[in-house]
Amino acid sequence: MMPVVRLLWLLILPVPGLALETAPAPALFPGQSATKITDIEYGRAGGEKLLLDVSVPAGQGPFPVAILVHGGGWSSGDKAGSDQPGNGRDISAWFAPLTEAKFAWFSINYRQAPKNRWPACFEDVQTAIRWVKAHAATYKGDPSHIVLFGHSAGGHLVCLAATVEDESIRVQAVVGFAAVTDHEQDLPVRQGLSPSLQKLLNRPMELNPETLAQLRAISPLNHVRAGLPPFLLIHGDADQTVPIRQSRDFQARLLAAGVPCELMIIPGAGHGFLNWEQFSPDYTSRMVDWLKKTLAPAPVATH
């Protein structure tokens, strides 16, 4: 009988015959300080150009790399921060601390629902990881020190990508902000499939065995295994969109498998994180400390 985990992966692997093209890296623009380059093509899929922005630190490098994946219910959001700056999808609060911490960071766009159904967005995140690993050095990045950042739906995509058994997309750390990690957890409250998941999966609100099987297959919680990279989960305990229970349960599953995982709770905070420093003024510095500790180069052995 086919193992359950293998069966789950068969449900989320790319559609056979879909060409995912990886683009070459453009030349780096010279600059004396952190240089931002926008709209770099990292691939093409379904006839669409896949674009990212990159911030290149000043200095010699190589610098650690962060790949940023925005949220927005798999159907909105933008690599520049948000398609509606200042709203709950806005990830621009990541930009300054990562720039100050001397990260080469890459913020990506991906194909969105309902025009593009699952697994288009997941395929694009994987394509972006491969492109960044291949071209990080062009932007002073170190491809052996990569962290994935994702918020909400973007958190779902990076947490799931980190569980794939594929060396070409293996990374060294993951940070999930209010990440969706268990698509079944809040079904009783929603009384069926959420509008966002209806768009993503092209399924009705009413649940059936096939829908439940797909929800389980795309939930990072169900793909936890030993050997995954360290995770940092950050979640507001007043989040009404993605319940904090998802991060608690995901952390417990990771720790049970021997995977390092820290959970940083932001008391009183909701889903969007632009104002989280009002609730926890030092949370950004604690996040950066975790990144530096987790991505620190291994000590050189002496004889």
Q: What is the pLDDT of residues 91-102, one digit of tens each?
A: 999 999 999 999
**Contact between residue 288 and residue 234 where contact means Cβ atoms under 8 Å apart:** no
Rounded CA-CA distance 90/99 in Å is: 17
**Contact between residue 134 and residue 42 where contact means Cβ atoms under 8 Å apart:** no
Alpha helices for 22-119 (secondary structure H):
95-100
pLDDT at res. 275: 96
Q: For residue range 24-47, what is the model confidence (pLDDT) as tens digits?
A: 555 444 444 689 999 999 999 989
Report, as an integer, the average pLDDT of 151-173.
Answer: 98
pLDDT at res. 296: 83
Neighbour-count burial of 254, counting CB atoms closer than 10 A to its CB (0-12 exposed, 13-18 middle, 19+ buried): buried
pLDDT at res. 34: 86
Answer yes or no: is pLDDT of 262 > 60: yes
Q: Is 53 a catalytic residue?
A: no
Q: For residue range 68-93, what is the model confidence (pLDDT) as tens digits?
A: 999 999 999 999 999 999 999 999 99
Q: Is 152 a catalytic residue?
A: yes
Q: Is 271 a catalytic residue?
A: yes
Mean pLDDT (the chain, rounded): 90
Q: For residue range 173-224, what is the model confidence (pLDDT) as tens digits?
A: 999 999 999 999 999 989 899 999 999 999 999 999 999 999 999 999 999 9
**Contact between residue 143 and residue 133 where contact means Cβ atoms under 8 Å apart:** yes
**Contact between residue 149 and residue 128 where contact means Cβ atoms under 8 Å apart:** no
152, 196, 219, 247: which is the annotated catalytic residue?
A: 152
219, 223, 239, 247: which is the annotated catalytic residue?
A: 239
Beta bridge partners of 233: 176, 263
| Domains observed in the chain | 4-26+37-294 (3.40.50.1820)
Read off the tokens for 60.
């010699």
Q: What is the pTM of this model?
A: 0.90
Answer yes or no: is pLDDT of 108 > 50: yes
